[in-house]
Structure 1
């Protein structure tokens, strides 16, 4: 079975008929990575990418699932922490700008 990304003559509606959000995301990803020139990537970065891919490939499915869950949990934590920090700081700045702010 051929990959839809490598066959420009084939419709993207294949197995996802009616799922325009998924199609749109795949189209965006294809256009973003389709314009990349791999000759501009430094050799050290290519070597690091190959090493990382080999190490991930050698992991068990359980390790991959747990690692992915930990990455998602960490990203969720950092995004929520930055939102709460922003809300706290914006309230503090608003209080400083108002006339009713009493530093004592």
Structure 2
């Protein structure tokens, strides 16, 4: 009895597909593509790859071809995933720095306004120091922002603009004494402290960036305490 004609064709088709895959995998191995992929990977992935290659050399030729192809594809996938994760991390860090800088820039403008309005030489000198301090804060944060792919941020918050406008209108009617200036600065420093706390609480910043923000936050706390002390002296 004759065998069905389509059976050998199906077998040959499957065999041909398998041979094509094996041929492609063998070509990757001969070209060193597997090693190239592993060299792009992280140190941890390289270590895993090296261990796998030790076992790989003990396999048969067919096992090497198939296993090598799968290892190459896996390495490529993990490498691409790692790159994507790194990009997202930079975007998150840039977003946090960008938001914090709005409030640091508010701090600069607030103390510049205090320098212009204060008639007390000692207080005016202190406000000038705080302007310089705030500018250093902004420069440091902008340097880190640029490292994450962001543009320099020099804008202030809309809330800060409205507040300074309201204080100007109030001063035009009631006048602006040293106690009022200090009160305005204390209020502005509270905004800055809250912004620093939010930047640290979202845990996007790491390493040197986080340490820099923590240092600035501590200095802002000291400024807040000193402003309160100076305001108490005005009683």
TM-score under structure 1 length normalisation = 0.43
Find the structure with the greater CA-based Rg: 2
- Larger helix proportion, structure 1 or 2? 2
